[in-house]
Structure 1
Amino acid sequence: MANKDDDNQTGVRRGQQGRGRRVTASDVANAARVSRSAVSRAFTPGAYLDKDKRALILKTAHQLGYRPNALAASLHGSSTNLVGVVAGSLDNLYDSEFLAQLIAGLNQANKWPLVLAGGDSCIEEAILSILDYPLDALIIRGGSIPSSLIETCAKLNIPLLFSGHVVDAPFTDCVCCRNGAGAALAVDHLVERGRTAFGFLGGPSSRSSTLERLEGTEERLKHHGLELQIRHFCDYSYENGRKAAKEMLAQAKLDALLCANDAMALGALSAIRATLGLKVPDDLSIIGFDDVALAAWPDFNLTTLRNPIDQTVAEILRLLELRLDSPDKPNEVVLVDPVLMRRGTD
């Protein structure tokens, strides 16, 4: 704890700068009666500075509660370690779990995420606002963005990384799930179990992931000499899954329902158990997609296709480092294999 003489020596007490104003290097320089550049050298590893002067500066900085501004310092270099993340809607269980792991991975790599979340309607506005910051890169989870924004990022030399969506653009890398292969895996498994009447419950028809999962379902059914009985598209949500399942089963007699994400599968499972009088899996098999944490809860025990977040995040971080080390490297598209997680609904 600083004594009174220490305060008199520096001429500034801790907190004297007033609430809401950060103590600056200039404050330390004035209090220690040294130059601003000397303060900078005192906090720069390897920089030359007289030992006694460094000790005085560090002591003064401690008394004032000063910490160097890492962002300001980084602006003088080639990298700020700031990474923009456009996360989509956090109401989506998969996206929220993905974001948590991505942030942890970025922090571990000494990268600091600037995160914006929201639905498709605010993606363009969000990206425009985030481009005002000195970003090393921009990561976009799901959805799509206007080509004009991709061109803006290219002009600003901000590389892009897409998760869940393949984009062909300069300085752009992508990590995506093999959606069609996952759907085919589910079809093969259910056909082996004797299922023949399939329905598909998809997300918005504008989403590439939904269309890829639908295409994979239809192609694999055709391989087995079967046809899809009914398809339904809606927003990814539990409530929409409940409503859609009732509508689909009122129109077609099904013994298998493939859902484009787990939230809809859980909603469908709830409706079927509670109101439709069918037994799962005796009367009807249900398979989801993503394998969010909730799917494994005993009350649900949902069979689903794991879209592995840990592998996806690891690939994003790998591609990010490669791009920052070699900005002109060729673009990469990494495809991640889904895994069938057999539980109690197939």
Structure 2
Amino acid sequence: MSDDSDRARTGGYVSAQQVARRAGVSRSAVSRAFTPGASIGKETRDRVLQAAQELGYQVNDLARGLLAKRSTIVGLVGTKPEAGFRAHLVAALAKALIARGSVPVLVNTGDTPPEVEAAQRILLGYRAEATIVMSGSPPAPLIADARRNGQPVVLIGRSDPEVDGILVDNAACAARAATHLAQRGAKRLGLLGSASGTQSIVERETAFREAAAGLGLEVVTARGTDTDYAGGRQAMAELLAGPRPDAVFCVNDLLALGAVDAVRIGAGLRVPEDVAIIGFDDIPEASWDAYRLTTFAQPPEFVAAEAVRLLDRRRADPHAAPLTLRIDADLRLRATA
């Protein structure tokens, strides 16, 4: 019976032994043919590659990693990875990691203790090479367990003196937002934050209030129950229920989009004539004609490239001092401020 008919009958992946039979070589020759730098004659290697192509064979990277005691899995950890900037960051990280030869595995930590425990089991049970934490909300024990088990960790959007990380320069951006709105003539500023209180959000809120105070401007604050569109509409409605601000800084774009609709649809006012609005992240929706949101651009592809660079640095020197990168974000001027 041929290898093709045997596979059709039994199902499953094509094995290296089937490739060896098709090529008329030993099983070890197949292994050498797919191992960079291994000793094998050109004719033998060509026969193996031809047989592999005919059969549709792919190297079992999981088995190879077990033999080498080295995984190619990189865990992407986050709460609500489908939302806002994080969704685009997941896509950029996956693309960058695949180009690196890694296998990205998305782990949604959820909000409950059982969900967090399940995420921990996945990360440690599959012996991931590294863990990239994409938000400020996954609990600290999850990160501590990864580190105790020898997994390099890269934090995005938060910092830890003992772990590599990437943070946008939140303070500089928030101060720039306050200055820009003041230069537009705003006298009373609004701040839309979030009850989630992650490091990035707290930094943006604090720096905006401090910069506004330095400019002699009053700031009134409202916080959404979450950093999403609904939270933005809710928080903006709270601001509009009191003395109306001339301009509002939102700590992310989803909040800002909700704020724009609360002003235009909920209150029947104009943006930016009655209320100017600035967001943060520059998600694709921010440039839609319905919004044309002025916002700070945090390119997910650049963040992903920096995360991979930190992983490679850690692999090359496991004992290097932890490094936190601060990246800038450009103010994209559009129609809302």
Q: Which residue of 2 aligns with 1:143?
A: 136
Q: Which residue of 2 aligns with 1:7?
A: none
Q: Distance in 2 between matches of 1:58 and 1:91?
A: 40
AA partner of residue 215 (structure 1): T
State which drifts further: 329-338 or 105-114. Answer: 105-114
Q: Is the 8 A contact 1:120 1:143 kept in 2?
A: no
Query: Which residue, out of 2, 5, 12, partners 1:12?
Result: 2
Query: 2:22 matched to 1:22?
Result: no
Evaluate the alpha carbon distance shift between residue 15 and residue 165 of structure 1 in structure 2; reply closer, same or farther with a 3 A threshold: farther
Query: Which residue, out of 102, 108, 111, partners 2:102?
Result: 111
Q: Which residue of 2 aligns with 1:183?
A: 174
Q: Which residue of 1 aligns with 2:183?
A: 192
Post-superposition CA distance 1:43-67 (Å, at most 9, x none): 3344334666656655554554432
Q: Please state how far the C-alpha of 1:326 moved relative to its aligned partner.
A: 0.8
The SS at the match of 1:321 is helix
Q: Which residue of 1 aligns with 2:161?
A: 168
State which drifts further: 303-312 or 174-183. Answer: 303-312
The number of residue pairs the alignment matches comes to 334
Q: Which residue of 2 aligns with 1:4?
A: none
Q: Which residue of 1 aligns with 2:312?
A: 321
Q: Is the 8 A contact 1:260 1:288 kept in 2?
A: yes
Q: Distance in 1 between matches of 2:268 and 2:51?
A: 74
AA partner of residue 235 (structure 2): A
Q: Is the 8 A contact 1:201 1:258 kept in 2?
A: yes
Q: Is the 8 A contact 1:230 1:252 kept in 2?
A: no
Q: Please state how far the C-alpha of 1:40 moved relative to its aligned partner.
A: 1.8
Q: Is the 8 A contact 2:73 2:130 kept in 1?
A: yes
Query: 2:301 matched to 1:310?
Result: yes
Q: CA RMSD in A?
A: 2.4
Q: Is the 8 A contact 2:224 2:232 kept in 1?
A: no
Q: Please state how far the C-alpha of 1:83 moved relative to its aligned partner.
A: 1.3
TM-score of the superposed pair, with normalisation by structure 2: 0.89
Query: Which residue, out of 30, 35, 39, partners 1:44?
Result: 35
TM-score of the superposed pair, with normalisation by structure 1: 0.87
Q: Is the 8 A contact 2:222 2:238 kept in 1?
A: no
Larger radius of gyration: 1
Q: Which residue of 2 aligns with 1:293?
A: 284
Q: Is the 8 A contact 1:87 1:99 kept in 2?
A: no
Q: Is the 8 A contact 2:109 2:138 kept in 1?
A: no
State which drifts further: 41-50 or 330-339. Answer: 41-50
Post-superposition CA distance 1:228-284 (Å, at most 9, x none): 223323201112212221222112321111111111111111121113121111111
Q: Which runs of 5+ in 2 are unaligned?
A: none
State which drifts further: 324-333 or 221-230. Answer: 221-230
Q: Is the 8 A contact 1:296 1:302 kept in 2?
A: yes
Q: Distance in 2 between matches of 1:109 and 1:61?
A: 23
Q: Distance in 1 between matches of 2:295 and 2:37?
A: 54
Q: Is the 8 A contact 1:229 1:252 kept in 2?
A: no
Q: Please state how far the C-alpha of 1:288 moved relative to its aligned partner.
A: 0.8
Q: Which runs of 5+ in 1 are unaligned?
A: 1-10
Q: Which residue of 2 aligns with 1:234?
A: 225
